Structure 1
Amino acid sequence: MTTAMTATEPMTTTTGATGAATARADGAPAPRVLLYSDDATVRAAVRAAVGPRLRAHAPEIVWHEVATATEVVARADAGGWDLLVLDGEADKVGGMGLCRQLKNEIYRCPPVLVLTGRAQDGWLASWSLADDAVPRPLDPLILQKSVAALLG
């Protein structure tokens, strides 16, 4: 696990097999996921629910955690992500508004999974242009299945 600090980002964490990009058996790079929440416990819960791999013998998912919307926009704009997971309940800038912004501003925006506050917020996730939404409380099976489907 590697951790880097920047002036605009209180904490950025990347986790994966060795902290570096790994490759799948077919030679394709390991899945890279940008995970946004201002709450470190939410980020930890998502990583724990999804697990280190999508399936047996697959490479470890490379997670990159960010805690601010500014960092999400900068990282998403830079590209190279296979999936964005955004916390719809984040303070200041929620994941649903952020998702809509990214989908409208980034050419070929990667798939976005939004974590909603409750199942009834599915309509808001649709408005946000999210590719999928998972409600709280987070069900590990549903979350892992959604991530696997979006990563293909």
Structure 2
Amino acid sequence: MQPTATVLVYSDDSNTREQVRLATGRRPAPDVPTVEFVECATPAAVLSELDKGGIDICVLDGEAVPMGGMGLCRQIKDEVFNCPPVLLLIGRPQDAWLATWSRADAAVTLPADPVEFAAALAGLLRQKRLQSA
């Protein structure tokens, strides 16, 4: 049986969550595990899922309402022990500095370009695998 990675996707917009699922497919690259998604539409749901454990990567929508993914990223980096890597979805390339402020591990712009998104997600999965080894 192949390993799977659990990816949490946070956005109040179901279309954004769907973009992430479609851009990822079953596996973002041949050398990383297949992906299972946990979808969250509220910050409270994100915190609840992280408390349960088992999340390998978080994908957070920087444009989410009422709490954007940037603020949520900074919060979980401060509050969650062994916080998983975070891929932040940003509205404009100029917002990359905010992604750095939030301590995101990677950032891509919306709408999610499937090639760019899959490459960023695969990169985080590879880093996670190296850290676990």
TM-score normalised by length of structure 2? 0.89
**Sequence identity, in percent?**
50
RMSD (Å), alpha carbons = 1.5
Q: Distance in 2 between matches of 1:40 and 1:146?
A: 21
2:70 maps to 1:96: yes
Moved over 4 A (4+): 56-59
In the alignment, what sits opposite 1:47?
Answer: 21
Question: What secondary structure, in the 3-state scheme, does the structure 2 residue paired with 1:61 have?
Answer: strand
Read off the aligned partner of 1:145 and give its amino acid letter. A
> Are 1:36 and 1:85, in contact at CA under 8 Å, matched by a contact in 2?
yes
Unaligned runs of 5+ in 1: 1-22
Aligned to 1:137: 111
Output the CA distance in 2 between the equivalents of 1:53 and 1:109.
22
Q: Distance in 2 between matches of 1:142 and 1:93?
A: 25
Secondary structure, counterpart of 2:34 in structure 1: coil
TM-score for the superposition, normalised by structure 1? 0.78
Greater RCO, 1 or 2 (C-alpha within 8 Å, sep 6+): 2
Bigger-Rg structure (1/2): 1
- Specify which structure has the higher proportion of helix: 2
| Greater alpha carbon shift after TM alignment, 127-136 vs 46-55 | 46-55
> How far 1:64 sits from its partner (Å)?
0.8
1:139 Cα shift?
A: 1.1
